Amino acid sequence: MGRLRGKSAIITGAASGMGAEEARVFAAEGARVTIADVDDGAGERLAKEIGARFHHLDVTDAAGWEALVTSAENAYGTVDVLVNNAGIVVWGGVTDLTEVDLRRVLDVNTIGVFLGMRAVAPAMERAGGGSIINIGSTSGLVGGPKALGYSASKWAVRGMTKAAALDLAPKNIRVNAVHPGLIRTPMSGAAADRTSGTPPLGRIGTPAEVAAVVVHLASDDSGYTTGADHVVDGGRTAGWT
């Protein structure tokens, strides 16, 4: 406990699923949390429950990001951690994914992550450094059937993480990616139906198991780690079984 004491952390998509679990664990570890989501009802309920702030944000809205960072700095003094967790899944393969759906999933999962990193970097520099954690997916390590747009969006998250880590290292801002496999959340209800086989560890993962890795990357325990991929998938992408 207390590994994030005094840190001001923004977590996007924290009204549900893994982001909500991360918000709970961050608060328990002493962080001052800003929950940023389009789902005002669930976001405000969780904020009240854990003593956090809720701020309405659509991650595709650049001006919204600027307002979020300003409000977090005004409330907590600094922005030390950003978890770019908000994401959507859109199913479709090379012949049946619509252009509209491809642009939408890239807008939320990829452009949203870029806008977030861009918005927090000056605030983190003012704070003397920071940690950005981008939530990718094992769909950013391998391909998936009928997941062309989702895969493209998550491979881009992985590439941007490494490029941004190089750009921001001189400012003492670390940037890492976390790639969950199949994790039990509202989103994965649909994914589970499309995924065949069982991971080597024999079960679907839990949000708490992803949150544990995210907390480590947010904390000073990971002070020499940047630009790295962290896979939390029960061994699914380790190789053939």
Whether 150 sits among the annotated catalytic residues: the reply is yes
Composition of the chain by helix, strand, coil, percent to 5: 50, 15, 35
Helical packing angle, 17-28 and 207-218, nearest 10°: 50
Tell whether the torsion through CA atoms of 197, 213, 46 and 120 is positive or negative: negative
Q: Report in angstroms how near the CB of residue 153 gets to ligand NAD at its nearest.
A: 8
The answer to the question of residue 62 lying near ligand NAD (CB under 6 A) is no
* Interaction residues for ligand NAD, span 7-26 (CB under 6 A): 12-13, 15-19
Q: Which stretch binds ligand NAD (CB under 6 A): 3-11, 25-33, 69-77, 183-191?
A: 183-191
The answer to the question of residue 58 lying near ligand NAD (CB under 6 A) is yes
Q: Report in angstroms how near the CB of residue 190 gets to ligand NAD at its nearest.
A: 10
Which element (helix H / strand E) includes 132?
strand 130-135
d(CA 157, CA 145): 19
Q: Report in angstroms how near the CB of residue 20 gets to ligand NAD at its nearest.
A: 7
The answer to the question of residue 234 lying near ligand NAD (CB under 6 A) is no
The answer to the question of residue 39 lying near ligand NAD (CB under 6 A) is yes
Which residues does residue 83 pair with via DSSP β-bridges, in sequence order? 11, 133
The answer to the question of residue 50 lying near ligand NAD (CB under 6 A) is no
Q: Which of 241, 181, 175 minimizes the C-alpha distance to 209? A: 181
Which residues contact ligand NAD (rule: CB under 6 A)? 12-13, 15-19, 37-39, 57-60, 85-88, 108, 135, 137, 180, 182-183, 185-188, 191
Positions marked catalytic: 150
